[in-house]
Amino acid sequence: MIEKALKGNRNYWAWIASLLAVIAVGITAYNRQHWFGLTVTGMGRDVSWGFYIAQFTFLVGVAASAVMVVIPYYLHNRKEFSKTVIIGEFMAVAATLMCLLFILADMGRPDRVLNVLLFPSPHSMVFWDVMVLNGYFVINLVSGWTVLGAERRGVPPPSWVKPVIYLSIPWAVSIHTVTAFLYAGLPGRHLWLTAVLAPRFLASAFAAGTSLLILVTLVIKQCTGFDTGKEAREKLAVIVTYAGIVNFFMIGTEFFTAFYSHVPSHMHSLQYLFFGLEGHYSLVPFMWFSLLLGLGSLVVLLLPGKKSSPKWLAAACTGLVVSIWIDKGVGLILGGFVPSPLEEIVDYHPTLTEVGVTLGIWAIGLLVLTILLKVAVSVKSQE
């Protein structure tokens, strides 16, 4: 089946070539990081996680959002999702792969990564995260590939695949819950120490991840003529709208708890992010841009008729993806480290090397996604 990815028009190969070029840049940058150490990144003693972990957090959400097509199609038998479900599953595969690569890129000693399995530590949330992410990767790849293979041969999918697909539903919730638990159980990091973090992660995942899915289906339609269906896209847009509203509602509750209780340590991170603290304002424009862009996109989706216009839909989805990427990636990670446990403020700026590695990993993810979707589209359109 993979041979279908080897046949394509000029645009297809140009796209693959440009991704390979970006991957080459990423490998060069990573080589530099591997040689000189993580000192070549913007991270330091005070802000000890940065761009990589931010991407990781965001992408776990993208991966988890596959359930937003799996649930209606497999649990509720909504046929209009029949062409979208494979795209959701393959997107989850690519996103999970990127998550794992971002963790590897962030590690000081990636050569020792198997220590996580050699010395399993159930008290550590990282152990569980590695378990669920790898599991989710396998589940989606196996179920997506098997169902697609059966479709190519014109036979019903094997009976064992149904339970695997059903398993992917709670599993998707688990990957994002465990990812939230990475942060939400640490004393002294007040922005993260909130019970609403896991629900907020899920809401933002179902908003941003599903938005990205809509965008991918629009790109496929543009590039290959393969349409997953307007109806499915509009249904997904409804999910995006509700998930987005819940997400912003929960951000609001964070503000209430911090500022009404007036506990200084609870307010500091939010003050740093949104209003600036002791002369440090570097993230303020980004956070307000994120907030206004996200709310603006939701307004577009709520206005009657805008969802059915591909242009407005694409604009609103892009807006939500960018908004949540800033808020849940960059803002959440940096806000957890500033102010530091000793109430000191140190700003963080990613370096070119860090951005290079990040782009490289995104390109690897997009390459895997392109190949998988090329196969899927070829099978679905019976080329």
Q: Pick one of 15, 46, 80, 169: the residue that binds another protein (CB under 8 A).
A: 46
> Distance between CA atoms of 303 and 347, rounded to whole angstroms?
39
In the complex, least distance from residue 61 CB atom to another protein, rounded to whole angstroms: 20
Angle between helices 264-274 and 230-261 (to 10 degrees): 130
Structure tokens at 190: 């007040």
**Out of 12, 15, 127, 166, which residue is the one contacting another protein (CB under 8 A)?**
127
Alpha carbon separation from 111 to 116, 157, 230, 343, 346 (Å, rounded): 11, 39, 47, 34, 30
Of the candidate spans 45-53, 69-77, 212-220, 280-288, the one that interacts with another protein by CB under 8 A turns out to be 45-53
Token duo for residue 328: 């849940």
Least separation, in Å, of the C-beta of 339 and another protein? 9
Which residue, 109 or 153, has its beta carbon nearer to another protein?
109
- 12 scored as a contact of another protein (CB under 8 A): no
Q: Report the alpha-carbon distance of residue 153 to residue 26 in Å, rounded.
A: 38
Which of 15, 49, 289, 312 is close enough to bind another protein by CB under 8 A?
49
Give yes or no for residue 349 binding another protein (CB under 8 A).
Answer: no
- Applying the rule CB under 8 A, the residues between 58 and 117 that interact with another protein are 103, 106-110, 112-113, 115-116
What is the residue type of 164? Answer: V
Q: Which of 119, 225, 279, 311 binds another protein (CB under 8 A)?
A: 119
Give the rounded distance of the alpha carbon of 133 from its chain centre.
12
Alpha carbon distance 193, 188 (integer Å): 8
C-beta closer to another protein: residue 109 or 311: 109
Residue 26 near residue 364, CB atoms below 8 Å: yes
The only residue of 97, 125, 147, 273 in contact with another protein, by rule CB under 8 A: 125
Per CB under 8 A, 186 contacts another protein:
yes
Cβ atoms within 10 A of the Cβ of 151, count?
A: 17
What is the rounded distance in angstroms from the CA atom of residue 53 to the CA atom of residue 101? 10
381 lies in the binding site for another protein (CB under 8 A): no
Q: Which residues bind another protein (CB under 8 A)?
A: 36-39, 43-46, 48-49, 103, 106-110, 112-113, 115-116, 118-119, 121, 123-127, 130, 182-183, 186-189, 265, 336-337, 340-344, 346
